[in-house]
Structure 1
Amino acid sequence: MHGVPDAHGIPDSERLARIFLTRVLEPGDERAGQWIRDYGTEETARRLRGAGARLPGVTDRRWAGLLARAGRADPGQDRAAARNAGVRFLCPGDPEWPLQLDDLEDSRPIGLWVRGRPALRLWALRSVAVVGARACTPYGAHMAATLAAGLAEHGWVVVSGGAYGIDGAAHRGALGATGATIAVLACGVDRPYPPGHTSLITRIAEQGLVIGELPPGDHPTPSRFLVRNRVIAALTRGTVVVEAAHRSGSLVTARAAQRLGRLTMGVPGPATSGLSGGVHELLRGESVLVTDAADVIEHVGDIGELAPDRRGPVLPRDLLEPAARRVLAALPGRGAAAAADIAREAGTTEDDAVGRLYELRSLGFVERHDDGWKLTRQAIDSVRQDHRQC
């Protein structure tokens, strides 16, 4: 019977009503979210089928369109098609439902269609979004793949949108590291989009998860890509934008994450690249600059998951005592100098300078030349290396 709860305690009538609504309503519709909150899922579905009073807050034209969609919706058929494709439907209240999606309030998904074996709720608890431009540069693709691989190797789930460019590179990076990844689609999860990523999305479904709000067979539209991004933002602990122009949809994801109180991060690029302009705009605001997986984990991970200190190489002269370094710095770059001249330049006595010079000779920094002292080739190379590090 439709009212009998299933194994997860959700009545079948409630689940079927939500499946019906995913066919009738557009994802992210806050007005529809208010209907569900005020009237309940089943009553909202009943009214959209033409029974009962019209739901408030819609124009005549929109109401007619909703009724027309409702007339063609068949939740039983959608559920059967999903089962045949190895797809399950999750409702709020299911044990597998990620509770962080509830932060979206009235724009929360009505339900999620899920393809893949892992438990979505568990995977989402330790996940990071990696998003960016579709028409990315080789640098952007490399950074996305490297970041995703590093995150996957440290047990993090990489979430992206399955698109060309940065999204695809992020998914491939995680898969290449035999890690976990989730693709959030703006179409039916049984209908891979873009078509050129059919094999990639199939592989994600086999090794990870493919999820979406739209029922089987439904197609993507420009608006659906944009509202899909709020799910990516809400599902994850933080969002990393690798490359994005000023009007990129990836910035929509980042701004949605900021509104939800999630951390946003950006990978810097060349100042001359238009594809880095949007990222740099984020970095001038609330976002954090990251360059590798360790940086990301330090910001979204647990206490103690710190990135290593970023330091240049230790040069031989760095190991000298300050007084010895001053004497070494007092020697000319070319030719020899008398001990008295070196002492004057170093600000010390001649006896002290001579003692330091013999110490430096034993370490291979200086050599005696007639009555003077000069730098060895080792010392000159060390100075040049030091200057390159500056």
Structure 2
Amino acid sequence: MRIMVLSRGVPSPEAPLRGIFEYDQAVALRQQGHDVVLAALDARSARHWRRFGIRIEHANDRQDGIAMVRLDVPVGAAPARIDHRVHALAARRLHRIVAREWGTPDVIHAHFARFAAASARAAFPEPLVWTEHDSHLACPDRRLTEDIATAGERADAVISVSQDLRDRLAEYGVASTVVPNIVDTELFDCPHRPHEGTVVVSVATLNPGKGMVELAHAVELLPGVQLRIIGGGPQQRQLEEIAADNPRIAVLGPQSRERIAQELAAADAFALASHAETFGVACAEALAAGLPVLTTACGGPQEFVNDSNGMVVPIGDVQALADGLHRVLTTSWDHEQIAEQARSRFAAGPVVNQLEAVYRQAIAGHESAG
């Protein structure tokens, strides 16, 4: 099957997580024998400096075997009408290039409402699958509301990455199937590394919604427990100031997934104190490493963190975080079972099987609709 994956960008050394969910799916689909073209539309403002314009890379020229076309246009926070128009024109241009270079796709898989709506406005003739990841559905602006309506009307199949997100989309009248994000379970299946003391790792963007300051204060209540924070964002300086007064807390900044895997291999537990998560890929990666997870009742992670692999505590409660961490760190866990459960749920094979079923459904529905 030839699949055009429409993405918000491509991971790079400067932005290693940009478009990472889309890229991981593209790689997994390619490994399962599909003909995949990753069409990346990066519309961030010019302050995110990068090379603008079109770049085409054929599969034979890339180590990962993924054919790719990138279009970088500095749109930024444009008014909704302009944003819709620019994205539709850009998506149409990407589609023309894909058809010219690699042939007409059998299905278009757009990630996020913005890109699914752009596909709808571009009036692509192929079946359209839309995957939603966005936590902003809880408080959408005008642009997102219009994109959801447009994408929902046109898409032949819709995927949510969690039941929580499926329920949110249902509030907009959009029915969807739950298919989780892919986790590179082989990357995170690292031998456990001996280390001194008790180590907790947390990975997140460092903004107030991720609750990292609350987690740091919770660790301060636990003598002997070390917290290693991975990520960057507006609260990084505040967290570094907390760490300066407490040698048990370390702020490592943004890191590659390879480095994250190494950190997890030298940890005793993983913690996420987020206020809202549509999926919680960092939790899934920690489980793939065999670590027990402490998470808040923030949405997506509640669907796969349970008594067999961790604990869920209330949002924004420092004492509950401290008590939960203490319990997770003093419980005996079956680390191999934790990792095996993660592999069976999030590894490429099981997720691709689910995606293929959705693609077949979309193609059949599109053909029957005429």
Verify same fold: TM over 0.5.
no
Higher relative contact order (CA 8 A, sep 6+): 2
Question: Which one has a larger percent helix, Structure 1 or Structure 2?
Answer: 1
Q: TM-score, normalised by structure 2?
A: 0.31
Question: Which one has a larger percent strand, Structure 1 or Structure 2?
Answer: 2
Q: TM-score, normalised by structure 1?
A: 0.30
**Which structure: larger Rg?**
1
